[in-house]
């Protein structure tokens, strides 16, 4: 007499429990992978946001330079990235009184640096230098990066435009403008 082993047989006890446990492990690994991708995506998004803000700030100073073409040279600023606090110089009052072109440049730089240092970019800084032999200016914006580009090897491979001596935790973007 042959006996069939079915659902009530001895040999099949616990098989369903093992299958459920294996499924839970596979599901957990998959969810961890999704969570990792989400974190990486947010990091890359933060990096892109910083670059978009830096580009916007570069275009802002370019517009200020274009509107005050008589004192374009007064917008030059080539100071190394600060290691301590930086206080923006007090601007002349160009809102209620008439300013010269140079005073307007000082006012514009003060307003722009206040925006730059005031939180638009974390640890924001800039260099504005004339390009030799042209009427163009290079606006290099710098900020402390906490996202995707904190990987120094990656930043180097992507071609960092940071001036010499800039800390490795600082990311840079250079925009050439023609005022």
Q: Does residue 125 lie in a domain region?
A: yes
d(CA 58, CA 128): 10
d(CA 31, CA 27): 6
* Per-residue pLDDT at 101: 93
* Per-residue pLDDT at 31: 96
d(CA 108, CA 65): 9
Half-sphere exposure of 107 (CA within 13 A, CB side): 16
- Asked whether 178 and 150 are in contact (CB, 8 A), the reply is no
* Per-residue pLDDT at 86: 76
**162 Cβ partners below 8 Å, 6+ apart?**
140, 142, 170, 171, 172
Q: Does residue 3 lie in a domain region?
A: no
* Per-residue pLDDT at 17: 86
Beta strands across the sheet bearing 125-130: 125-130, 137-144, 170-177
What residues of the chain score a pLDDT lower than 50? none
- Asked whether 149 and 173 are in contact (CB, 8 A), the reply is no
Per-residue model confidence as pLDDT tens digits over 46-74: 888 888 999 999 999 999 999 998 899 99
Q: Does residue 149 lie in a domain region?
A: yes
Query: Hey, which residues does 143 pair with through a beta bridge?
Result: 171
Q: Does residue 1 lie in a domain region?
A: no
* Per-residue pLDDT at 13: 63
- Asked whether 61 and 174 are in contact (CB, 8 A), the reply is no
Q: Does residue 151 lie in a domain region?
A: yes
31-61 in b/e form (b: 16+ CB < 10 A) is eeeeeeeeeeeebeeebeebbebbeebbebb
d(CA 92, CA 111): 11
pTM for this one?
A: 0.73
Number of folded domains that form the chain: 1
* Per-residue pLDDT at 150: 55
| Residue range(s) defining the domain that contains residue 166 | 12-177
Pull the structure tokens for residue 125. 């800084």
* Per-residue pLDDT at 79: 85
Query: Hey, which residues does 2 pair with through a beta bridge?
Result: none
């Amino acid at each position: 007499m042959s006996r069939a082993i079915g659902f009530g047989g001895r040999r099949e006890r616990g098989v369903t429990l093992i299958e459920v446990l294996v499924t839970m492990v596979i599901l957990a690994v998959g969810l961890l992978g999704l969570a990792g991708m989400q974190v990486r995506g947010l990091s890359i998004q933060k990096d892109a946001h910083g670059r978009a803000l830096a580009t916007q700030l570069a275009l802002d100073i370019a517009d200020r330079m274009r509107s005050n073409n008589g004192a374009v040279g007064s917008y030059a600023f080539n100071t190394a990235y600060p290691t301590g606090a930086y206080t923006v110089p007090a601007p002349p009052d160009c809102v209620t009184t008439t300013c010269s072109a140079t005073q307007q440049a000082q006012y514009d730089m003060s307003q722009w640096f206040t925006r730059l240092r005031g939180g638009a970019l974390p640890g924001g800084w800039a260099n504005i230098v004339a390009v030799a032999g042209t009427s163009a200016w290079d606006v290099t914006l710098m900020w402390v990066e906490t996202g995707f580009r904190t990987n120094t090897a990656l930043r180097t491979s992507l071609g960092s435009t940071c001036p010499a001596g800039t800390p490795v935790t600082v990311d840079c973007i250079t925009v050439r403008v023609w005022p």
